[in-house]
Amino acid sequence: MPKITIDDKTYDVAEGKTVLKVCLEQNIPVPYFCYHPRLSIAGNCRMCMVEIEGRPKLEISCNTLVQDGMVVRTTTPKAIEARKSVLEFILINHPLDCPICDQAGECDLQDQYFQFSAVPYRFREEKVHKPKAVPLGPLVMLDDERCIVCTRCVRFCDEVAKTHELGVAERGDHSTIVTFANEGMKNAYSLNTVDICPVGALTNRDFRFNKRVWFLKNTPSICAGCATGCNIWMDHQGDVIYRYRPRDNEAVNQSWMCDEGRLTYKFVNAPDRITSPYAQEAGGGWARLTWDAALKRLNAAFAKVPPAERGIVLSAQCSNEENTAWSRLASEQWKTSLLFGTWRQPSNPTQDNILRHADKNPNTRCLQELKCHREYTGGARLLIVLDTLTPEEATVVEKERPEFVVVLATNWGTDQDAVRWRPIARGLPISGGSCFPWADLVLPLATFAEQAGTFTNAKGMAQRFERAFPPKGEALPAWSIAEKVAGQ
Amino acid sequence: MEPILTKNWGKPNSRKLVTYVESGGYGSLKKLFQMSPAQVIDEVKASGLRGRGGAGFPAGVKWGFVPKNTGKPVYLVVNADESEPGTFKDRAIFENDPHMLIEGIICACYALSSHVCYVYIRGEFFLQWEIFEAALQEARSNGLLGTNIKGSGFDLEIHTHRGAGAYICGEETALLESLEGKRGLPRIKPPFPAVKGAFGCPTTVNNVETIASVPWIIEHGAKAYAAIGVGKSTGTKLWSVCGHVNRPGVYEIPLGFPFRTFLQEYCGGVWKGRKLKAVIVGGSSVPVLTANEAMQVNLDYESLQAAGTLLGSGGMIVLDETTCMVAALDNLSDFYHHESCGQCTPCREGTGWVEKIMNRVDQGHGLTEDLGLLLDLADNMQGRTICTFADALAMPVRSFVQRFRSEFEEHIKLGRCPFAGPEWM
């Protein structure tokens, strides 16, 4: 193992590592822009230069492999001066429009200027002007004047998305980021380029201008968009989610997530959230009622149906904790064998061999492990449904007409396939959304953002998500509802 | 002095194979094929031949870096992307004696055990490319290229590749990128081309003049070559001279030749009876010399370095007393700003900044602090980029401002150019 000395401290490091990697592992502050641990080395930003004994020039640490006996210094006047000058060069043509830039507050350039330079501005000339607000694709907007040509986004498309959609056109300080033949960046992972852009050149069209990032709280969570279970940061202010960003997990999603998953946060904020219990009236409308009243109605129904004839449909959209609570209620208290599971099954699910999984449920694995029947096929006199039913299952319920049906749901209109149930919207918080015509009682279910729990992904890994904020209105996690029901 | 590179220049039909062969051309091959490749490399090492493209690295040593038996093909790439302002010596080789280059390529490829050579020709050299293609055709039909060259069992094919007009593609790794069909951006090193060059294979990139010197070394021996020149600067060098001289052109002189004599005897002295002001000896990117410095210098690698400049490519620009040095540097900075590939921050931003300051100073809007700033920028650009392009502007900036500081100060003070106007621009 090579021994290497950095700033007078000696480290034993593995062969084949770069000096920058060692510095980062040892928390030695070496700044960089173009380097990204998951992309090839470009060596173009010149920010990570260090002094190496015996070498006449400063070397970029990102492309210098460690050698036994190497003596590296990161804080010599020469190295410090070089960083300052690189930052000065970067900033001469940068628009310095931080007050209106979405990246402000999480901008590497802003941070590094404060940390490593903070020298006055010497540039008296006219800046180079380049295209602004260029839609690079359906989800990504480019401000070329802010671009520092680090080529992270280009390398991402080449090496991760493997679509080769981006490139640099023109030369020198007129360089611009372009898409191949101006066809746009349409890959399924395009928003990752926004994450890795060290400045505000690439912004997320879904997020830009919506919120200054320093107002956002970041809660570690799991994307519920498919069975891959990408680790995410859920960025929210209060109970409004503004965006998801990938959270590093070598075993699952490395540093990435798909665009589709990234936009799945919207149902949590949606105006059609179910925030209190509702009961269907004889005439077809819905009436809002209190939890007490709802539980009373449920109790009355229980009185008529013996436990063994009560059915429960678990959901691959709900957490392990939620499903397990209901499954135990079924097996231990009611001793019913009528335990089913439902999956959301879009007709043409997207998939690829990068991250997107064809199973669009975050917790299908849980249902497999709880050994419930794959879908609701009938037989229950009283039915409790978590989340919602597929159209096929709903048809079974329609035909069979159980005596009492309870749905625990987050939204009135989340399930695209349920649109055909075009409802009697009277009494609902939204107009014209779909609902549950086959249900007698609808209970407000908390989303995964509003509770802690775990999802087990397709690889069988149980992954924890944290509670970002309390449930909206009177919604409760399904396990909490199970507890209330069990106590009746 | 017996000319080596220019011996056939000016002969009628000097481009033709028959003329070349009549004067002993392709004479080195017989000896070449009796030697082993390693012997050829040793011979070139012993000759002291240094790269004529600008860096002056010993050619034989460079060949020795190419790893053997990697299972991959080895390529020789000839850098004919001659684009340095003031340099037009390789062009003269193409125009006057293309077969000498072909013979040199055969020698070099044999030494490297390479069977494919790419000649990357500057896009603007259309005529030269046509001449070279015609020479290749002649060589092919006479068994000098292709399989089993002259019964030696050695196979070689030469392909030409025309550049698309970027100066940066003369940088060897940008050239390789361009050759591979990509944007001409210099590569970060390591890996060096000797290990991973064209198409991921071991590659040597050599300048036209370097390669053209090899046949003579093989034929006459390393000793004879090393006897020409001075110290570590052996052999002869082509100088392309332009600017304010009576006889601009390409001249071959032994290394170590005094500039004063060269200017008078070869170039006919400074034109119009004027005085010499400055000389850029080795192509536009090397530090400029004042007349005094130039008159005392000998034209070899070491002497020029001692005088604070570089031999570079041998593209000499002579400036007479009427030249405005501010306008000259403004012109140079325009060029380097235009040609920066834009990969590395200091070069991408620095070249543009220097150009804007120089435009301003030249137009009479300069400030006293601009000179200090220019020197700072030169320091901040040099040695901090992937390739040496940034140095190529930093060196002129520093030398112009330091050696002709009073002219810059006068511009700033007067708010205009004190000269009537340069005639050469």
pLDDT tens-digit profile, chain B (425 residues): 789 999 999 999 999 999 999 999 999 999 999 999 999 999 999 999 999 999 999 999 999 999 988 999 999 999 999 999 999 999 999 999 999 999 999 999 999 999 999 999 999 999 999 999 999 999 999 999 999 999 999 999 999 999 999 999 999 999 999 999 999 999 999 999 999 999 999 999 999 999 999 999 999 999 999 999 999 999 999 999 999 999 999 999 999 999 999 999 999 999 999 999 999 999 999 999 999 999 999 999 999 999 999 999 999 999 999 999 999 999 999 999 999 999 999 999 999 999 999 999 999 999 999 999 999 999 999 999 999 999 999 999 999 999 999 999 999 999 998 886 555 44
Instruction: Tell me: do B316 and B329 sit in the same domain.
Output: no
B294 and B152 both lie in a single domain: no
CB contact under 8 A, A173 and B360: no
What is the C-alpha to C-alpha distance for residues B258 and B261, in angstroms, rounded to an integer? 6
Determine, yes or no, domain membership for B399.
yes
DSSP-assigned states of every residue in A131-200:
--SEE-SSSEEE-TTT-----HHHHHHHHTS----EEEES-GGG-EEEEGGG-----TTTHHHHHH-SSS
- Distance between CA A287 and CA A277 in Å, rounded? 9
Burial class (CB in 10 A: 0-12, 13-18, 19+), A128: middle
Say what percent of chain A tops pLDDT 90.
Answer: 85
Same domain, B222 and B176: yes
In chain B, which residues have their Cβ closer than 8 Å to the Cβ of A125? 353, 356-357, 360
CB B351 within 8 A of CB B393: yes
- First CA to last CA across chain A, in angstroms? 66
Q: Are residues B55 and B79 both part of a single domain?
A: yes
Best of A46, A51, A86 to mutate (most B CBs within 10 Å, chain B): A46
Residues of A in contact with B169 (CB under 8 A): none
Report helix, strand or coil for B102: helix
Q: Which of A424, A445, A446 is nearest to A436 (CA)?
A: A424
The count of CB pairs under 8 A between chains A and B is 92
Residues of A with CB under 8 A from a CB of B: 41-47, 49, 56-58, 60, 63, 82, 85-86, 88-90, 92-93, 122-126, 128, 148-149, 167-168, 170-175
B175 assigned to some structural domain: yes
Statement to judge: residues B345 and B246 lie in one domain: no
Q: Quick one: pLDDT at residue A428? A: 53
B349 and A89: CB-CB below 8 Å?
A: yes
- Tokens 């080895």, residue? B74
B135 and B58 in a single domain? The answer is: yes
Domain range for B251: 236-320
Residues B112, B72 within the same domain = yes
Last residue of a domain, one of B171, B197, B226: B226
Asked if B162 and B52 sit in the same domain, the reply is yes
Final residue before a domain boundary, out of B320, B352, B383? B320
Distance from CA of B231 to the nearest CA of A (A): 25
Does residue B290 sit in the same domain as residue B369? no
Strands A339-342, A453-456: pairing kind: unpaired
pTM score? 0.94
Q: Choose among B190, B344, B357: nearest Cβ to A44.
A: B344
B149 in a structural domain = yes
Of B339, B349, B357, Cβ closest to residue A93: B349
Residue B2: what residue type? E
Give A122's contacts in chain B (Cβ within 8 Å).
Answer: 373
Instruction: Identify the CATH number of the domain in which residue B86 sits.
Output: 3.40.50.11540
- Using CA coordinates, name the residue in chain A closest to B385: A46
Which of B262, B297, B320 marks a domain boundary? B320
pLDDT at site B421: 55
Kindly state whether residues B311 and B329 are assigned to the same domain. Answer: no
Our CA-based measurement puts residue B299 at a distance from the nearest CA of chain A, in whole angstroms, of 26
* Domain assignment of residue B12, yes or no: no
CB contact under 8 A, B350 and A89: yes
Contact B14, B200 (CB under 8 A): no
Mark whether B108 and B167 lie in a shared domain: yes
Cβ atoms of residues A46 and A26 within 8 Å: no
Residue A331 per-residue DSSP state: I
Residues B28 and B119 in one domain: yes
Are A43 and B188 a contacting pair at CB < 8 A? Answer: yes
Tokens 């501010």 belong to: B326
Q: Based on the structure, what is the number of domains in chain B?
A: 3
Contact at CB, B342 and A85, closer than 8 angstroms: no
- B341 close to A (CB below 8 A): yes
> Which of B342, B367, B384 faces A173 most closely, judged by CB atoms?
B342
Contact B341 A171 (CB under 8 A): yes
Q: How much is the ipTM here?
A: 0.93
